[in-house]
Every structure is written in C-alpha cells, then in structure tokens.
Amino acid sequence: MSGGEEGEGASLEFTPTWVIAAVCTVIVAISLAAERLLHYTGKYLKSKDQKPLYEALQKVKEELMLLGFISLMLTVFQGRIVKICVPSNTMKHMLPCSLSHESSSTGEVPDASPDLSSHHRRLFAAEAAGSGYCASKNKVPLLSLEALHHLHIFIFVLAIVHVTFSVLTVVFGGAKIRQWKHWEVSIAKDNHSVGEVLKPKFTNVHQHDFIKKRFLGLGRHSVLLSWLHSFFKQFFGSVTRSDYTALRLGFIMTHCRGNPKFDFHKYMIRALEADFKTVVGISWYLWIFVVIFLSLNVNGWHTYFWIAFFPFLLLLAVGTKLEHIISQLAHEVAEKHVAIEGDLVVQPSDDHFWFRRPHVVLFLIHFILFQNAFEIAFFFWIWVQFGFDSCIMGQVRYIVPRLIIGVFIQILCSYSTLPLYALVTQMGTHFKKSIFDEHVQAGLVGWAQKAKKRKGLKAAIDGSTQAGSTDGSAVRSLQMVGIGRKETTPPTEIQPSIGA
C-alpha cells in the first residue's frame, strides 16, 4: 500500500465480512432501540395528556432527522470538501485562535517560512487523502476532516440543548401558570350564576385593586414612571390576582359575552401549548444567526461574551413591554371613568403590541430562547471538545458572566416572561383558535370545507344555467338536496361549544 492508503487503513474490499456484518448489526440495533424508545415515550406522554412534552418530542424527532441528513451530506461530500484547496495565506485571517496559541499548546515551533506555520502543517498532516492532494499543490484544504467532525458535533449539541432548554422553560412556566388555577376556581365560585354576574352594581374605578396597582396618574411624568414601574414589576409579582381577574373579564366580555362562565385558564393553557410548537423548533432564520456568529468568532473580538448581552437585554425589553401593556389597559379605564356600572372591564386591542401584531412577542421569545441555548451549547461544546483552557473558551472573567447571564435568562423567562406572555397575548383584538376544543376545531374545519365546496358547486351550476347548458330539472333536484343552498352558519352542534 502507499503511504496514504496505509494511513487510512484497508478499504471495504479488504475488510472481513464478519466485521462488516457485526458493525452493521450494532449500529442498526442501537438505531432501532432509540427509535422505539422515542415511539413509546410519545405514547406515554399522550396517555398522560402531556401535550407540551409530546410536541417537544416530535420536534426532537424532526431535529434528529435533519441532523441525520446533515450527517449524510457530510459523509458523502467530505472527500470533495477536503479536496477544495486554497492558498495558505487565506487561512491566516479571522481565526478563532491565534497561531501562537496553537504552537504553544502543541509544543511545536513554527516554521521559519511565513507560508507554512504549525497550524498549516497540522492541516497537511490530516488523515484525508485530500490533505496530501492539496499539499502537492502547495496549498491547504478549505476544511479538514477533523474540523468537519467538530462542526457536526456542534450542530447536534446545539439542537439538543435548544430543545431541552425550551422544554424546561415551558414546563416551569406552565407550572407557574397552573398556580393561577385557584384564581379561576375562586372567580367561578363567586360568579356561580349568570344573574349574579349581570346584577347591576357600581364600581369606584380609582379604588379598584387593578387600577391602584397599575395607574400612577402623575401627569406628564406618568409615562416615564409607568415604563420604569413596568421594568421592575417583571422581577417580582409580575402577575397578581387583580391583573388576572381584570384581563380575564376583558377577554370574556369582548369575545364570549354570552358565556360568563368561560374557563379562561384552560383556554390560556391550550393557547400556550399551541405556541410551544413554534418555540421549540429551530427555524431557518435561527440557523442564519448561527452562521453569522461562527463567522464573527474571531480571536480577540470576544464575540461569545458580548453576544450574551443581546438576549438578556431583549428579554428585559419583552418583559417590560408586556407589563406596560397591562398598565396601558388600566390607564385607559382610569382616564375615562371615575365610577362605572358593573365590574371593571378592560378593552383588548392589537394597538398595544409592537407593530399591532401580538405574535411578534412569540417570535422574540423564540429567538431569546434559541440564542441563550446557543451560548450554553457553545460553552459545553468547547469545554468537552477542546478543554476548559482552550483559547476559544476565553479568559475566566469572560466565562463567568456568560454563564450567570444564561442562567438568569432561563429563570426569568420561565417564571416571569412566559407566564406574562400567556396572559397578555390574549389581550389582542382577535382570539386564537385554541378557544375551541380540538374536536370542535375539527368540526369547524370540516364545516368550512363543505361550505366552500357547496359554494363552488353552486357557482358552477349557476354558470352552466346562464350558458343554457344545464337542465332545469337537474338544478332543481340539486337544490332540493341542499347543494345549491348558501350555508353561512356553522352546524348547530358546534355553536354551543364556542364559549365553552
């Protein structure tokens, strides 16, 4: 064998068949065991009605499928990638570690030649034939097999850490929201009859707990004080019983006035579970962020440190905005009324949200969770792959603040921002489809599809009639069975469930 073949070992043509069969058996057995484990875990979560965790498991499967495809691409094209040769000078710019770090860690002395450093000699000594191929041209590979392997591991670690952190955030946030259940039960007991709810009474607006805690009423300085109050409010008692009661009543009186016994808490949990499917995924724009960060992780820039402040500041801005929306709802009522007949009712509106789009908040939370997971994943990947003393890791004074900020973001998002989002996002102009139970949603979709088909069929029949190509008796027969009739309301068995 040649030197290159000797370094790579025997090919599959000269490998004993029992070795091939044994290795395949082990790999297939491990893969099937993992697949069955995920399958039965999903069945268990569904049986326990753990929908958020079940949705997270589905996202894990999607990420594993994506990673499997990435692994396949890297395996198939690695031979071509390592044979992409570039001049050695090209590989000296924008390095995560300086060449002096590399030479000191290996104990090697850089070559006197400016075009052949120890960093490049290591690339020349890589295990692939592509390294020798590029060395024969006095160039270096664009990416070595070792670097490809490290990159693949990083992508896998990032996906797993992001999904895990998202699950923990929603589990802890959901636990916080479920603590509000006793508020819902208490309100339901107080409003045990529709007649009592609608019974006329007068409320002194400025003496109401919701107004006293949210309306500052200090003239032109109230705007600044309101924002400052909202900023600090997110750290302690972000949602009180008076907040929950006022926002709940505002939602019910706006969207389901006919059913004052509507279980707002149950609807809020369903809406959060539906949004969770978005939060736990890794969208294409998040992968773009990964690419941008990897390109900016240059030695001396400390990008990994400064970028940790971005999700931190963004999370504070989101929490402040959500708290300020509650304060705005209180201000609207307090500035218009001194006393009102009946209970205090706020008016939900998209005008309070950024760009009049409540779902922008969900997008920002998604990005915050991903970026925080990216920071933590990058830290553990460097630690395991290269060691704590790696030059990529940086100095201790940069590492500790990163970890503290990451933990703070995870706790604040779980116990404050996410519960705030689950409540305040219902204060938009429109309600979410989660207001219906799943079987009602399916019924409404089926009704809409049938109505659309009937409308299209009627239009076709009317057009044929005007063209004189349709028999009148056939049209009357179709109309008798209801195909030509307009259907503008859902089936009666669905309507009573809208406010339930």
**426, 443: one domain:** no
pLDDT at 266 over 80: yes
pLDDT at 20 over 60: yes
Residue 92 lies in a domain: no
Residue 480 lies in a domain: yes
Of the three residues 435, 460, 481, the one that is the final residue of a domain is 435
Q: Which of 115-119, 374-378, 437-441 has the lowest mean pLDDT?
A: 115-119
What percent of the chain is predicted at pLDDT more than 90?
6
**378, 314: one domain:** yes
Q: Using CA atoms, how far apart are residues 197 and 248, in angstroms rounded to an integer?
A: 14
Residue 88 lies in a domain: no
pLDDT in tens, 164-217: 888 888 888 888 888 899 888 888 887 655 444 445 566 777 777 888 777 666
pLDDT in tens, 65-78: 877 787 778 777 87
**431, 443: one domain:** no
pLDDT in tens, 95-118: 777 766 554 444 443 443 444 444
**407, 476: one domain:** no
Predicted local confidence at residue 321, as pLDDT: 93
Residue 378: pLDDT band (50, 70, 90) is: confident
Predicted local confidence at residue 322, as pLDDT: 93
- Counting Cα atoms < 13 Å in the Cβ hemisphere of 493 gives 7
* Mean pLDDT along residues 474-478: 41
Q: Which of 150-154, 305-309, 451-455 has the lowest mean pLDDT?
A: 451-455
pLDDT at 477 over 90: no
Q: Do 372 and 318 meet the contact criterion of CB atoms below 8 Å apart?
A: no
**160, 36: one domain:** no
* Burial zone of 52 (CB within 10 Å; 0-12 exposed, 13-18 middle, 19+ buried): buried
Higher model confidence: residue 160 or residue 425?
425
Q: Which of 70-74, 353-357, 362-366, 482-486 has the lowest mean pLDDT?
A: 482-486
Predicted local confidence at residue 165, as pLDDT: 84
**241, 375: one domain:** yes
Task: State which residues form the domain around 9.
Answer: 1-49
Residue 126 lies in a domain: no
Residue 135 lies in a domain: no
Residue 293: pLDDT band (50, 70, 90) is: confident
Q: Using CA atoms, how far apart are residues 70 and 129, in angstroms rounded to an integer?
A: 22
pLDDT at 84 over 70: yes
pLDDT at 338 over 80: no
**323, 341: one domain:** yes
Q: Averaging pLDDT over each range in 224-233, 319-328, 424-433, which range is the top one?
A: 319-328
Residue 107 lies in a domain: no
Residue 29 lies in a domain: yes
Q: Do 320 and 207 meet the contact criterion of CB atoms below 8 Å apart?
A: no
**201, 235: one domain:** yes
Residue 458: pLDDT band (50, 70, 90) is: low
Of the three residues 413, 435, 457, the one that is the final residue of a domain is 435
Average predicted confidence (pLDDT) for the chain: 74
**393, 491: one domain:** no
**208, 333: one domain:** yes
Q: Which of 9-18, 209-218, 370-379, 434-443 has the lowest mean pLDDT?
A: 434-443
pLDDT at 483 over 70: no
Predicted local confidence at residue 101, as pLDDT: 53
**157, 284: one domain:** yes
Residue 493 lies in a domain: yes
pLDDT at 500 over 50: no
Q: Tell me which H or E stretch contains 141.
A: strand 140-141
Predicted local confidence at residue 25, as pLDDT: 92
pLDDT at 358 over 80: yes
Q: Do 161 and 171 meet the contact criterion of CB atoms below 8 Å apart?
A: no
Q: Which amino acid is at 333?
A: V
Predicted local confidence at residue 320, as pLDDT: 93
> Among 236, 272, 56, which Cα is nearest to 164's?
56
**459, 362: one domain:** no
Predicted local confidence at residue 146, as pLDDT: 80
pLDDT at 14 over 50: yes
Domain count of the fold of the chain: 3
Residue 314: pLDDT band (50, 70, 90) is: very high
* Burial zone of 280 (CB within 10 Å; 0-12 exposed, 13-18 middle, 19+ buried): buried
pLDDT in tens, 126-177: 444 555 677 777 888 877 778 877 887 888 788 788 878 888 888 888 888 8
| Alpha carbon separation from 453 to 442, 479, 481, 484, 487 (Å, rounded) | 17, 14, 14, 10, 11
Of the three residues 416, 435, 454, the one that is the final residue of a domain is 435
What percent of the chain is predicted at pLDDT more than 70?
72
